[in-house]
Amino acid sequence: MITKKNRTSKVEELRRQLEEAEKAERARDKAEGLALRRAKKAAGDNHTRLALSLYDLLGVEPEQPTIRVIDGERKTVAVDKDESLRSQRLFDMVEEIVEKADPSLVERLKRADNQGRNERKPKAKKGEDEKPKNGADEPKAQRAAGVAASSSSQPAPTAPSPTNGQLQESGTPHHQPA
């Protein structure tokens, strides 16, 4: 039988669970925001060049602008100034290409990427440990997913990264902090 006390404790328990879930979501949002700010600061130009190159490669055009009359003059106004819609369309295209691609091709490309990363790995100085203590040598998706990534049947998705420095003005590979 449900009593008023049982109902009250149940409501309190649900509120506590909701507060915990909201707190965890705020923490994830804060961490994501920090990661985005760091990425913009460290690699913003390279990320922009990569996105623009992918837009061109896959033919992802900007959203259609709208025409507005301001002070009797017709002006073209962008409807997707931050390019969130265009970026989502690009992501959807790349995601579908990766999903439809031969799994052996995707694995071969990942292995080649990892090999290139390992070849560019800074050499340890005398007296320093070979393996960084912060886990910088393991892929970011694995660090973020922790045990969940190792227990799933499919590999964790990873973002593609240019390994040959083509998207950089200087022509030298860009080493991003872990």
- How large a percentage of the chain has pLDDT more than 90? 59
Q: Looking at the predicted structure, is the pLDDT value of residue 82 above 50?
A: yes
What is residue 136's predicted lDDT score, i.e. its pLDDT? Answer: 54
26 occurs within a structural domain? yes
67 occurs within a structural domain? yes
Instruction: List the Cα angle 84/85/88 in 5-degree steps.
Output: 85
Of residues 131 and 127, the one with the higher pLDDT is: 127
What is the band of 24 on the pLDDT scale with cuts at 50, 70, 90? Answer: very high
152 occurs within a structural domain? no
Of residues 119 and 135, the one with the higher pLDDT is: 119
Residue 134 near residue 178, CB atoms below 8 Å: yes
What does the alpha-carbon distance between residue 143 and residue 135 come to, in Å, rounded to a whole number? 7
Domain total in the chain: 1
175 occurs within a structural domain? no
Q: Looking at the predicted structure, is the pLDDT value of residue 61 above 80?
A: yes
**Which of 77, 60, 54 has its CA nearest to residue 166?**
54
What is residue 140's predicted lDDT score, i.e. its pLDDT? Answer: 55
Residue 124 near residue 133, CB atoms below 8 Å: no
49 occurs within a structural domain? yes
Strands 66-70 and 73-77: antiparallel
Q: What's the first-to-final CA gap in the chain, in angstroms?
A: 56
Structural domain including 58 reads 4-113
What is residue 165's predicted lDDT score, i.e. its pLDDT? Answer: 38
What is residue 176's predicted lDDT score, i.e. its pLDDT? Answer: 41
What is the band of 137 on the pLDDT scale with cuts at 50, 70, 90? Answer: low
123 occurs within a structural domain? no
What does the alpha-carbon distance between residue 165 and residue 170 come to, in Å, rounded to a whole number? 8
Average pLDDT over residues 52-71: 94
137 occurs within a structural domain? no
Among 16-20, 35-39, 82-86, 174-178, name the one with the lowest average pLDDT: 174-178
**Token output for 165:** 């420095």
Q: What is the mean pLDDT of the chain?
A: 79
